Amino acid sequence: MSGLVVVALSGPTPDTALLRARIDGASLFIAADAGAQRLAALGLRPDVLTGDFDSLPAARREAAVRAGAEVVAHPEPQQTTDGAVALRLAVERGAESIVVLGAHGGERMDHSLGNLLALFDPALGSLPVTAVDGHGEATALRADGRASVLFQGRAGDYVSLLPVSDAVRVSTQGLLWPLADASLSRGMSRGLSNELLGARGGYALSQGAALAVHVVRGPGAL
């Protein structure tokens, strides 16, 4: 059985080749509140439902339960988000890697930023954690955990590295503008808008923490 767990949040989830490739082989689907509707739109159903259910219609929740979904109550709805609870639940259920869908909060910029920062929750340990929105993906990198990523795409795809710690040291592979043990810090824009030279390319950290982003450029599949 695959150790990949998919966590579905309530943000937009375009059905694309990138998204399908990243969730292929998942062994468990966890929906945070209205994330259950996002899964349903993809023809999928949650194995586990969690949240305070303030944005999931009762009929949808009941349908998921009838289909076999387990309901796990949100322990402290005013202390943390449904998404953070779902991520920790994925760890408890034995995840070896996690893909997050619907992390983009639509009109709620605070939700979008909060969901991406949640990828660095210490409770996730060194698990590979990636947010996928259909047209791009963002992977949490930490020198003391998952320190590298090689994105699969095509030449010309955009890639960026956004430091989230004060000091980051990074090297690149397969990118148009290479970095070799370069020093970056939070707030710097030097890591924005690089490009893949071919089908694979990415980053390796030796210090700090950063969000690595891959955006599919132009129409078509991977």
Residue 105 confidence class, pLDDT cut points 50, 70, 90: confident
Supply the pLDDT for residue 78.
Answer: 61
Supply the pLDDT for residue 196.
Answer: 98
222 CA to centre of own chain: 18
d(CA 133, CA 63): 25
What domains does the chain contain, in order, with CATH numbers?
1-134 (3.40.50.10240), 135-222 (3.40.50.10240)
Helix, strand, coil share of the chain (percent; to 5): 20, 35, 45
DSSP state of 196: B
DSSP state of 102: -
Supply the pLDDT for residue 76.
Answer: 67
d(CA 211, CA 5): 20
pTM for the structure as a whole: 0.91
Checking if the pLDDT of 25 tops 80, the result is yes
